[in-house]
A and B are shown apart, each in its own frame.
Chain A
Amino acid sequence: MAENPLPEKGLSAYRKVRNALLGSLTAVAFILAVTPLLAIVYVAYDRGKAALSLAFLTTMPGGFPVGIEGGIANGIAGSLILIFIASLLSVPVGIWAGLYLWDQSHTRLAKITRLLSDLLLGVPSVIWGVVGFFVFSTNTGFGFHWGFSGLAAGLTLGFIMIPIVTRVTEQALRDVPRSYIEGALALGASRFQVVRGLAIPAAITGIGTGILLGVLNVLGQTAPLVFTNYYNTGIPKSLVGSNGSVGDLAMQIFIYIHEPSKELHVKAMAAALVLTVIVLLLDMGIRLLAWGSRKYAQRMG
């Protein structure tokens, strides 16, 4: 390379070997990092392409065993409902908690909150499911008695999301330079004005990423659903009670794969591809939203 200021000849044998070694390690790491995504897309497409069509996305499953005919509209609708309920709970609570941890970072309550939220991050999702079942679904728990339902599952998933959103929000706010905040405070801005007008816009990409991470986590969960929602082949009219279960893509894939039917296996792989594409679209959507709100904040006060 012409622009390399260090002539290759001048390098000692040791450094040449080291450079080559580190270079190949980087290449290997890169390949290892992207291969799984390519593999998922390839396998899902290859095994599921026979079932893919527009109707697959828009029709309800039918036939026997259920799903032999029709598509996965129940799963798509149900997953979106669950994400919506989970976000409704976790986004405001998580952002609020993240703001609190950032603002009051040295107080004892903040330290305890941070510790608890880290512990919650490590709780296996099966346990969330069992607790969600006890709290929301049965009549022996807290008296909600919502049965296997979208609301019970959505809230359980929401509680899984809260610590994710909290910690990512706090970290994103921490990454806002102190000098930036001080500049506003020195102009007589109140803490609230600084948070709303400067800190959050500056951290919005990070916060958006946190929400996305939470949503993606929720999209892939099956264990909590087994206990709080299970699965519905239709779209429910209510989100609570004995007919309140919703469909769910991850559950649908899980159930189809366990059926001894070639057609359902193909549909499971097609559904997996749809789920992957939804994830990618959500990712892009959040990025666009973050970009837009940053532009907006730059223009406005």
Chain B
Amino acid sequence: MENGTQEPLVPKIAVKNFSAFYGKTQALHNVDFTIYERKITAMIGPSGCGKSTFLRSLNRMNDFFQGFRVEGSATLDGEEIYGPAVNPVLIRQRVGMVFQKPNPFQKSIFENVAYGLRIQGVKSRSVLSDIVEKSLKAAALWDEVKDRLNGSAFSLSGGQQQRLCIARALAVEPEVILLDEPASALDPISTARIEELMQDLKDRYTIAIVTHNMQQAARVSDRTAFFLDGTLVEVNDTTKIFTNPEDSRTEDYITGRFG
């Protein structure tokens, strides 16, 4: 596991004194956190501690919940994500997301990957074909589906569907990819493929992943953040978190004493 100390760390997303509320309940308390470019950042913590809330705050996916609001600052390349003039649709094009349960559209494999481009107005069949192929290759799915691009996405296995969802996210060329427990519904072999895939992708993308699986966090990530009850307890290089955490609560959690 490289920990990236050789090359300088470039902040991609910087969150300062960030709080999030669903109506009256506060789900995040004054989080300070930086996600670095071309690194994989893992978020761990017990259920309900606010990992998904945090992740979804970064591409404004929580906007759709009635009564959701944030305080503090969250920036993408220095630009406020919640700034008054910001179009959330553009944020979501730059910060893609893959969900816990594979959620392909009721369309063909090809159209699933092409969807993000079509809504941006791309019509040319050859451009679409190129990008679909490139994205499926990047998601390590191309060889399995190249002969049945017009088949239904629902005919794929769960693991393939999840890689299809990754390909779909890659097709719009996001800068950041957020993954919310992307492998928790998958078998070990599919999980291993997704983890390999993340290693391939991190040369080009900034990746943030929520996981309940400590080994997975240790295997795939460069940096790990530990959340507890809506607060960020500790964030550091993954090796440091797993070998020598600064906070005793982190140690308790990763050694399985609670959570």
Q: Are A197 and B119 in contact (CB under 8 A)?
A: yes
A185: chain B residues within 8 A (beta carbon): 61, 64, 92
| A177–chain B nearest beta-carbon distance, Å | 8
Taken together as a complex, chains A and B put the C-alpha atoms of A65 and B168 apart, in Å, by 70
Q: Are B105 and A182 in contact (CB under 8 A)?
A: no
Q: Are A298 and B111 in contact (CB under 8 A)?
A: yes
Within 8 A of B (CB), among A184-234: 184-190, 193, 197-198, 201-202
| A17–chain B nearest beta-carbon distance, Å | 42
- By beta carbon, the residue of chain A nearest B110 is A299
Q: Are B165 and A183 in contact (CB under 8 A)?
A: yes
B97 at the A/B interface (Cβ < 8 Å)? yes
Sort chain B's interface into a size bin.
20 to 34
A188-B172, A301-B111 known; A182+B106 contact, CB < 8 A:
no
B108 at the A/B interface (Cβ < 8 Å)? yes
Q: Are B96 and A189 in contact (CB under 8 A)?
A: no
Q: Are A186 and B59 in contact (CB under 8 A)?
A: yes
A42 at the A/B interface (Cβ < 8 Å)? no
Contact of B97 among A180, A186, A189, A294 (CB under 8 A): A186
A179 at the A/B interface (Cβ < 8 Å)? yes
A182-B61, A298-B152 known; A187+B116 contact, CB < 8 A:
yes
B103 at the A/B interface (Cβ < 8 Å)? yes
Within 8 A of B (CB), among A242-301: 294, 297-301
B90 at the A/B interface (Cβ < 8 Å)? yes
State the majority secondary structure of interface residues on A: helix
| B59–chain A nearest beta-carbon distance, Å | 7
Contact of A202 among B104, B106, B108 (CB under 8 A): B106
Of residues A106, A197, A198, A298, which shows the largest number of chain B Cβ atoms within 10 Å of its Cβ? Answer: A298
Taken together as a complex, chains A and B put the C-alpha atoms of A299 and B107 apart, in Å, by 6
B115: chain A residues within 8 A (beta carbon): 184, 187, 189, 197, 301
| A171–chain B nearest beta-carbon distance, Å | 19
Taken together as a complex, chains A and B put the C-alpha atoms of A184 and B111 apart, in Å, by 12
Within 8 A of A (CB), among B146-179: 152, 165, 168-169, 172
| B120–chain A nearest beta-carbon distance, Å | 7
Taken together as a complex, chains A and B put the C-alpha atoms of A106 and B61 apart, in Å, by 18
Q: Are A187 and B103 in contact (CB under 8 A)?
A: no
Taken together as a complex, chains A and B put the C-alpha atoms of A298 and B114 apart, in Å, by 12
Contact bitstring A137-153, B, C-beta under 8 A = 1, else 0: 00000000000000000
A-side residues, CB < 8 A to B, are 106, 177, 179-180, 182-190, 193, 197-198, 201-202, 294, 297-301
17 A-B pairs with CB atoms under 8 Å apart are A179-B101, A180-B103, A180-B106, A183-B105, A184-B105, A185-B92, A186-B99, A187-B96, A187-B169, A188-B119, A190-B119, A197-B115, A198-B105, A298-B107, A299-B108, A301-B111, A301-B114
Sorted nearest first, the 6 A-B pairs with minimum C-beta distance are A301-B118, A188-B93, A186-B97, A187-B116, A179-B103, A183-B103
